[in-house]
Structure 1
Amino acid sequence: MVTTLDDTKRMAIAEKLASMRVIQELLISNERRFLSEMSDEKIKERFQNMLEDDQKNLGVLDTVIVQYGVRSEPKETVTEMTKKVEELMSGSKLSIYEKVAQHELLKHQQTMSGLLVHKAAQKVGADVEAAITPLNTVNFENRAHQEQLKGILEILGVLELTGQEADQGLWARVQDAVAALSGVAGSVVTQSSDKSDMNIQDVIRMDHQKVNTLFMELNQSNDPQKIQEYFGQIYKDLTVHAEAEEQVVYPAVRPFYGEGDTQELYDEQAEMKVLLDQIRAMNPASPDFKTNVNRLKDMVMDHVRQEESTMFAAIRNNCSSEQSEKMATDFKAAKDRLQQQLASSLK
């Protein structure tokens, strides 16, 4: 049976996310270069803050791409464009004002791409919305950066044209705009702006929310093709999630979570994998298909409740923030590797 939801719309979103990652790397490269080329300490401080945000947001983008679970290469024209911009930024043809102006255009492009992905997700499926949720923080921070870049451009432009410093009044308006955007973003921005990455509980919880959404979408559909496609995504997500937990999370928590409780998690996932393969072999038009999917859902939700209550509590009580974030990084890397392996095996 078909085991994928990689339709045209989903692949288009995957390509946009991959293209955003390429642009994000270019933004980081530009900001590092600006720090070495700028003499104004106030402007350097703002670029340092942007750089820290953008480095964090590269990690957020990687999280979104892994959570989304549909792989694509960046658009060819985006790859070509970034190479040309990199050449211009590293050369001497452009003034510093012109380089920052190009950077502001890239930031605008990144902002619009993030907003488009968010809007497209609303049309394509609730599971897509669940997967890309962390992107909201990136979108709001990019908009805030745009406002700051306007102020920087005014100062650099006036200096280039007249040799004199611009009035500093715009900085106050920039700060007002940034504060307003932060207010709109609310807890989304403040929740993650003070840390470089999500912890393992955050990342696992996102997986749980996405698969629960997929179960709901499947149950609400009466179209055998869509049911088949939704199960295909459930199959991929659960297979990769379970294997990544068994490679990274369970060995790490076993010493303090306990041998018996940890083994119970392994055993539950072994049963889940057997049922996944049984359902995969069934006809999605069969009346027993949804019955078995709901058996799987009950099994998964029981497993989720154990992880999110007792296992998460054990992690909070026994791991530092750094250890939990490191576990999340390793878990995402394992998922990325396993997704690529699974995609190759399903071809």
Structure 2
Amino acid sequence: MVTTLDDTKRMAIAQKLADMRAIQNLLISTEQKLISSAPDQDVRERLQNMLADDQKNLGVLETVLVQYGIQSEPHDTMKKFVEQAEQMMSGSELSFYQKLIQHELLKHGQVMSGIVVHKAAQVVGADIEVAIGPLNTVNFENRAHQEQLKGLLELVGVRELTGKDADQGLWARVQDAVAALSGVAGSVLTQNSDKQDMNIQTLIRLDHNKVNTLFTEVGTTKDPQKLQEYFGQIYKDLTAHAIAEEQVVYPKVRPFYGEGDTQELYDEQAEMKQMLDEIKSMSPADADAFRSKIKQLMEAVGDHIRQEESTMFAAIDKNCTDEQKEQMATEFKTAKAKIQEEMAASMK
């Protein structure tokens, strides 16, 4: 039988993503403090724009965590670091310039964490790359913020030392150009991603794309350890997805999608859950039999996906406003996160 549904590499990436969420919250808190003590309106406005980006990017990160499928807590050292940073940025020991330096370092660390997660995903599995795709938008904007902060540091630092404005030379213009280029790309991606994150069809389709990638990965290996790893993620992803749909989506679509069609979706997912438990009881060491059973699951899931993405999605578009689809997406994402946390707790 499958001995564990967890994989240490995937759990490590989950914790790194949880660290990034903690830092994103710290960035937001720090910017709020900096805005309240900004020395002039120009600095304040730039920081307010960063704050708006970071609040939006926190939503992107939350979506990535749910799509990734493994909920985790930040490292204990990260929790201590955040607590100390909050105290430092709230105190009066550092000047505004010194606090701005610390904020730029936080941005740099966040960019590097995003890059490391992407590189780790390339090593561990293609399904992870699918799940964390929206993270690129966060990296783009944090990179732009780094350049903007360098310009602010020149401005604020010279003012603190001399009481006068810095001469805006070639370097400042280069910084503005890099920040603008990164910011435009990041803003466009984030705006599109943020809009899509709030669309229930897009969230469901992201789940479908990820599980299809996992099925493809199963087909490329006969290694028992890799088969167990991939199936463990399939089991967790499909279970959380199915329960969240049954809690949030199906009850809402039943009135206009029809009793019979909606019940068919429930029945298909009941069959899918049974197949998942059957595979869980098998040994990945018998690779051919294990893969054969997963192929049967893939076919059943494929039929289910085709129904949802054709007739159910069309019914949602026809009968729901954009606001209703956004609300359904928010409830679906919240339900999935709670289910993932409960599953993780039950496996300890």
TM-score bucket (shorter structure): over 0.9
Q: Over aligned residue pairs, what C-alpha RMSD do you find?
A: 2.1
| Shift, 1:65, TM fit | 1.4
Equivalent residue number for residue 270 of structure 1: 270
2:317 corresponds to 1:316: yes
Equivalent residue number for residue 303 of structure 2: 302
Equivalent residue number for residue 293 of structure 1: 294
Equivalent residue number for residue 233 of structure 1: 233
SS in 1 for 2:2: coil
- Taking the aligned partners of 2:16 and 2:269, their CA distance within structure 1 comes to 33
- Taking the aligned partners of 1:39 and 1:257, their CA distance within structure 2 comes to 57
- Taking the aligned partners of 1:81 and 1:127, their CA distance within structure 2 comes to 31
SS in 1 for 2:219: helix
Equivalent residue number for residue 337 of structure 1: 338
- Taking the aligned partners of 2:308 and 2:273, their CA distance within structure 1 comes to 17
Q: Which runs of 5+ in 1 are unaligned?
A: none
Work out whether residues 121 and 128 of structure 1, in 8 Å CA contact, stay in contact via their aligned partners in 2.
yes
| Shift, 1:19, TM fit | 0.9
| Shift, 1:62, TM fit | 1.4
- Taking the aligned partners of 1:148 and 1:202, their CA distance within structure 2 comes to 33
Q: 1:171 to 1:263 in 2, by over 3 A?
A: farther
Work out whether residues 100 and 153 of structure 2, in 8 Å CA contact, stay in contact via their aligned partners in 1.
yes
**What percentage of aligned pairs have identical amino acids?**
64
Q: Which runs of 5+ in 2 are unaligned?
A: none
- Taking the aligned partners of 1:192 and 1:276, their CA distance within structure 2 comes to 31
Equivalent residue number for residue 260 of structure 2: 260
Amino acid at match of 1:331: F
> Which deviations, in whole Å up to 9, do the C-alpha atoms of 1:248-300 show, x marking residues without a partner?
11112222222222222111111111211222222223443222211110111
Q: 1:91 to 1:67 in 2, by over 3 A?
A: same
> Which deviations, in whole Å up to 9, do the C-alpha atoms of 1:164-197 show, x marking residues without a partner?
122355664343213332576696345236x494
> Which deviations, in whole Å up to 9, do the C-alpha atoms of 1:182-222 show, x marking residues without a partner?
576696345236x4943212211111111111111111111
Work out whether residues 126 and 213 of structure 2, in 8 Å CA contact, stay in contact via their aligned partners in 1.
yes
Equivalent residue number for residue 95 of structure 2: 95
Q: 1:197 to 1:130 in 2, by over 3 A?
A: closer
- Taking the aligned partners of 1:184 and 1:339, their CA distance within structure 2 comes to 32
Equivalent residue number for residue 200 of structure 2: 200
Q: Once structures 1 and 2 are overlaid, which stretch shifts more, 23-32 or 303-312?
A: 303-312
SS in 2 for 1:38: coil
Q: 1:158 to 1:8 in 2, by over 3 A?
A: same
2:153 corresponds to 1:153: yes
Alignment of 1:1-347 (within 5 A): 1-2=1-2, 4=4, 6-168=6-168, 172-182=173-183, 188-189=189-190, 191-192=192-193, 195=195, 197-286=197-286, 287-347=288-348
- Taking the aligned partners of 1:187 and 1:305, their CA distance within structure 2 comes to 30
Work out whether residues 2 and 283 of structure 2, in 8 Å CA contact, stay in contact via their aligned partners in 1.
no
Work out whether residues 3 and 231 of structure 1, in 8 Å CA contact, stay in contact via their aligned partners in 2.
no
Amino acid at match of 1:62: E
Work out whether residues 3 and 229 of structure 1, in 8 Å CA contact, stay in contact via their aligned partners in 2.
no
Amino acid at match of 2:93: K
Work out whether residues 155 and 166 of structure 2, in 8 Å CA contact, stay in contact via their aligned partners in 1.
yes
How many residue pairs get matched?
Answer: 346
Amino acid at match of 1:342: M
| Shift, 1:150, TM fit | 0.9
